[in-house]
Structure 1
Amino acid sequence: MPAALSALFALLAAVGNATGTVLQRVGARTVPHGDAFSFRLIRHLLHSPAWLGGIAVIVGAAACQALALNLGSLSLVQPILVTELPFTLLIASAYARRRLPAAGWAASVMVAAGLGLGLAAAAPSGGHSAVPAGMWALALLATGGAMTLCVLGALPRPRGPLRAALFSSASAIGYALTATLMTAATDVFERDGAGAFFTAWQFYGFVATGACALFLLASAMESGPLIASQPALTLGEALVSLALGMLVYGERVRTGWWLLPEGTGAVLVTWGVLILPRVDAKSPSKL
């Protein structure tokens, strides 16, 4: 039952993130070109009702994600958030009052089927809540360094797909680290109560990294097309989260012959994720 509830809250988080993404894309359309990764970007977005509405929805999605992480493992919850991409396309199509092409439905089914197959085969389990300080330092240095390299690679490049993909990759790493810190913070809340939760460094860590990841995602949306940024965000967050779950919390997935259905599921998810932004880019839209 806890695993089922965890999966349910993760799906609700994916729907909330998808809704927030659509609203953010509506708000990002008003940002002048060239304002990515600057304080001007923040000023423009804070004056956008659509973007602020997206933030409000994402806060609710973060609450669902926290509940999911409290009930289940990082290796279970974060891959389910891959469904955010097909949900985004469905919600964007409804907002623009256009029909989703057959390729979009096919890709959405591929993502759902691949995710179900992969998670059923992997059966994430185990893990611990006691993380040594040295392990936290290693995780923070590795993720922070990777994000910095992505940003430094993006800044000198002109507006376009590569710049968007680099900012989106940095955002994906930031969101994965946010989930990792959120897992630790929710463990503190469950074990020691609200007072300890609001004084734990992991609480301030996931708030800071979440805000940073959100800013980088806004920069990615302003820098280039969705077809460049969304696959890097979706797949990158899932992969980095799985790695952090195993590294930081000692979570395990099944190996041996189970790697065959796990690999098949991963291929289906990747294929669907790569198709969906192309469907969105080719379809007439108000976003």
Structure 2
Amino acid sequence: MLTYALALLAACANAAASVLQRKANRGLGEHGSLSVARVAPLLRDPVWISGFLAVIAGFVLQAAALTVGALAVVEPVLVFELPLALLLASRVFHGRLHRREWACVLGMTAGLAVMLYFLAPGGGDANRVSPYVWLTAVLLTLAVAGGTVAWGRRAESSGDDPASGSRAAAAFGVAAGSLFGLAAALMKGAMSRYADGFTAILTAWQLYAMAVTGLVAMFLLQSAMHAGRLLAAQPGLTLSDPLLSVLWGVLVFGEDVRGGWDTAFALLGAALIVASVLVLARSPLLTVETDETAPRARAEDATARRP
């Protein structure tokens, strides 16, 4: 139960970070996404800084959950960041969740319960993973993230296509989610040395690789927010992280899962989660936030700057 509680608290922190960063990103426009200069102004924004602190809190809680639980258990729970973010956004952006949103939240809850019950992931030992397996898995994950970033940049460069921004946002969202999943795997690798003392964690190469990976993932997340509408970026961001983490847990760390009909029922639960996320990500609350609130914020900001 402690694993689930810590993972759920991490999802709450991530949801707060998502809403705060969206609020800070509203007035920066929707182009030039892969530019450090476009992200630099956020470093002086108290709202964005609060969101960044929430991200750190989420990482700490996630690390604590990974210390006591399996990666394939912790990461799927984090998909609740999306409904929690919408609940918080409904307060911050003065929207309202309707029956469709609540039905999707229930669908995600039921799907997650079914998937975790029938998979029953557990066991595994990150300390037993050989350096060659680590290197192969990390390079494959980076290749997936790099490929989606390249595709997103090509989509973004075709500015004459009205859908280019949405495709770029979706690609950057998948890339960010993939790197967040990699960061979780690296975090699991570092925290698996907890039994050897805190010094062992500080000397683990995975800890520092996780920090670099997390920073790049944060940059890609900002890029996804700038490139297009959030409802295009959110599904890939929400789903790629737990999917990649489950693959890491089972294929790399050797976490045990049930087979046979249990796997079939678990896949049905996963399908329910995916369907709920896809519907929930198209919530009018996100559409209002990106299509109506952002232009008003930019107009107010321009008015404030007039002499």
Q: Shorter-chain TM-score category?
A: over 0.9
Structure 1: give runs of 5+ residues left out of the alignment.
Answer: none
Per the TM alignment, residue 283 of structure 1 is displaced from its structure 2 partner at its CA by: 5.8
Query: In the alignment, which of 176, 193, 198 is matched to residue 194 of structure 1?
Result: 198
2: CA distance, partners of 1:282 / 1:192: 45
| TM-score, normalised via structure 2 length | 0.89
4+ residue segments displaced more than 4 Å: none
Query: In the alignment, which of 143, 150, 153 is matched to residue 151 of structure 2?
Result: 153
| TM-score, normalised via structure 1 length | 0.95
Q: Tell which deviates more after alignment, 23-32 or 84-93.
A: 23-32
Query: In the alignment, which of 133, 136, 139 is matched to residue 138 of structure 1?
Result: 136
1: CA distance, partners of 2:47 / 2:183: 24
Per the TM alignment, residue 261 of structure 1 is displaced from its structure 2 partner at its CA by: 2.1
Q: Is residue 129–residue 253 contact of structure 2 (8 Å, CA) maintained in 1? A: yes
- RMSD of the alignment, in Å? 1.4
Q: Is residue 227–residue 281 contact of structure 1 (8 Å, CA) maintained in 2? A: no
2: CA distance, partners of 1:266 / 1:59: 28
Q: Tell which deviates more after alignment, 32-41 or 269-278.
A: 32-41
Which has the higher Rg, Structure 1 or Structure 2? 2
Which residue number in structure 2 is paired with residue 105 of structure 1? 102
Q: Is residue 230–residue 286 contact of structure 2 (8 Å, CA) maintained in 1? A: no
Per the TM alignment, residue 70 of structure 1 is displaced from its structure 2 partner at its CA by: 0.4
Query: In the alignment, which of 134, 139, 163 is matched to residue 168 of structure 2?
Result: 163
CA separation of 1:283/1:165 partners in 2, compared to 1, >3 Å: closer, same or farther?
A: closer
Per the TM alignment, residue 37 of structure 1 is displaced from its structure 2 partner at its CA by: 1.1
What is the number of residues matched between the two proteins?
Answer: 283
CA deviation vs aligned residue, 1:128-162 (integer Å, no higher than 9, x gap): 13210000110111011111111111112235111
Residue 216 (structure 1) aligned with residue 214 (structure 2): no
Residue 71 (structure 1) aligned with residue 68 (structure 2): yes
Identity of aligned residues (%): 38
CA separation of 1:69/1:274 partners in 2, compared to 1, >3 Å: closer, same or farther?
A: same
Per the TM alignment, residue 173 of structure 1 is displaced from its structure 2 partner at its CA by: 0.9
CA deviation vs aligned residue, 1:32-90 (integer Å, no higher than 9, x gap): 33231111122121122111110001101111100100010000000111111111111
Query: In the alignment, which of 261, 269, 276 is matched to residue 273 of structure 2?
Result: 269
